Amino acid sequence: MNYIPNTDADRADMLAVIGVPSVADLFHDVPEKQRFPELDLPPALSEMEVLQELQALADENDDLNHVSCFLGAGAYNHFVPSVVDSLIRRGEFYSAYTPYQAEISQGTLQAHFEYQSMICALTGMETSNVSHYDGATATAEAVIMALQVGRGKRSKVVLSPTLHPQYRAVVRTYTQGMGIQIAGEDAPLGDLAALAGPAGADSACVVVQNPDFLGRLYTPAEMQGLADKVHAAGAFFIVVTDPVSLGLFVPPGQYGADVVCGEGQPMGNALSFGGPYLGFFATKLSEVRKSSGRIVGQTVDTDGKRGFVLTLSTREQHIRREKASSNICSNQALNALAAAMYLAAMGKYGLRTVAELSYHKAHYAAGLIAALDGYEVKAAGLFFKEFVVRCPKPVALINQALLDEFGILGGYDLGSDYPELKDHMLLCVTEMNSRAEIKQLVDALEELAGSDDLAALDGEEAAQ
């Protein structure tokens, strides 16, 4: 923020206006004993010295510029073109919030419209809103939408057990107190057919992730088969997906999805310690009035020139709260703008290249790891850029050793969410991982499999 200096004369004039003798009198409500406590602060530093100290503290942290990353599980290390960060820092974008007045918000509205158009093209759906907080929120909003379409007569929500565990938790938070029954989470992992069973006449929706949380990629025929059964029961078919995968594989709109949503972070948004991210949300035009968030439309003005307006905005700021389809109060517009810039910069061929590189590098890594003694790649069927590996020792111990000894950020410990997958690691490989990094990971895993130090730690952990 800008520094605005005030002279002694300025202060005196302001105090005179409000009728107070001194600045200290502004704090007369604070007990005198507490007004000026002794502060144990270090000596004052110059700006240069402060920056040097902060840089030294920052250098003690690991970051993805200095370690190899094989961690995914919903947040992914993809390349972000420099143009994205450069453009979103422009003042007209960086400071813009809600385009309440269309006549003075044409730039922001057009950027939102372009984002929606690209999300529709990517997902194969007819309409898109201008984003939610994150993938979990977008998923929960899709469930709320399905419940509203059912007019409260359908009270069951079927969640795939391989839907992101945190997304499932957020759905539960959103629907608590609504008398909603959550089903499907006890189905066998990866068994789509098992989800059709709970989808009866009382079901509002079935939510499936593709590729799922364990990395498995279901074929269009498998997904269409489930979609047909869900629709036969009169329920919504909601598909959570990785947007990068859609650069290579069939979009959900082509195999019967009613809503396509997910985490938009892979599209031009940095990992940033977990946020802010954005949730993308696309649906059919027939149900657009039940969708949450805002939708920007293209029109013409009185002179016949192209213009943009808020066509639909079902949020509580714009209409009566009790009539709103959602009371979400922000939409991560800057993150959505970054996603639009990323998609425009990459183009359909660039996005396909990112998806192909991630796919082939992941399969290359999986092949090398599968050949190691003590490790087993549990990739049943197809997978995109993530796959499950059964490890010979606890994942937490392996990950700590990978980071401390090899400078590698390892995979996600699946045992924390799936007890049956104890000692199983979810590894992620993207276009950012070089052949040398993959080889280093494989060599490190091989070495750690026979490490006496890890064996000793494993024994201590078991004893505790």
Which of 214, 244, 208, 211 lies closest to 76, judged by CA? 244
Check residues 443 and 108 and name the one with the higher pLDDT. Answer: 443
| Integer Cα distance of 115 and 93 in angstroms | 14
Instruction: Tell me what the mean pLDDT of segment 105-109 comes to.
Output: 88
Picking from 86-100, 204-218, 335-349, 434-448, which range would have the lowest pLDDT averaged per residue? 86-100
- Rounded CA Rg of the chain: 26
Identify the H or E element spanning 428. Answer: strand 424-428
List pLDDT tens digits, range 154-210: 999 999 999 999 999 999 999 998 999 999 999 999 899 899 888 888 999 999 999
Burial class of 15 by CB neighbour count within 10 A (0 to 12, 13 to 18, 19+): middle
Under 8 Å between Cβ of 26 and 20:
yes
Ranges of each domain in the chain: 68-78+347-451+458-462, 82-343
Length of the chain: 464
| Integer Cα distance of 376 and 137 in angstroms | 34
**Residue 287: per-residue pLDDT:** 87
- Three-class SS of residue 216? strand
pLDDT band at 327 (very low <50, low <70, confident <90, very high): low
Counting runs of H as helices and runs of E as strands, what totals does the chain give? 14, 17
Under 8 Å between Cβ of 135 and 277:
yes
pLDDT band at 95 (very low <50, low <70, confident <90, very high): confident
Q: What contacts 379, CB < 8 A, 6 or more positions away? A: 215, 216, 366, 387, 388
Check residues 309 and 243 and name the one with the higher pLDDT. Answer: 243
| Integer Cα distance of 94 and 84 in angstroms | 12
DSSP 239-256: EE--GGGGGTS--GGGGT
Phi/psi zone of residue 300: left (φ > 0), alpha (ψ -120 to 50 degrees), beta?
beta
Mean pLDDT of the chain, nearest integer = 91
Domain spanning 68-78+347-451+458-462: which CATH class is it, in words? alpha beta
Question: Measured between alpha carbons, how far apart are the two ends of the chain, in Å?
Answer: 52
Instruction: Tell me what the mean pLDDT of segment 38-62 comes to.
Output: 92
Under 8 Å between Cβ of 199 and 230:
yes
List pLDDT tens digits, range 274-285: 889 999 999 999
3-state helix, strand, coil in the chain (%, to 5): 45, 15, 40
Phi and psi torsions of 227, nearest 5°: -60, -40
**Residue 206: per-residue pLDDT:** 97
**Residue 269: per-residue pLDDT:** 96
Would you give the distance in Å from CA 117 to the centre of its chain?
Answer: 20
Q: Which two tokens stand for residue 64?
A: 């993805």
- Would the pTM of this model clear 0.85, i.e. be above it? yes
Bridge partners of residue 412, in order along the sequence: 426
| Integer Cα distance of 209 and 196 in angstroms | 15
User: Does 320 have pLDDT greater than 80?
Assistant: no
Supply the CATH classification number for the domain 82-343: 3.40.640.10
Burial class of 224 by CB neighbour count within 10 A (0 to 12, 13 to 18, 19+): middle
Check residues 4 and 436 and name the one with the higher pLDDT. Answer: 436
CA distances from 22 to 16, 29, 188, 219, 220 (A): 9, 14, 72, 74, 74
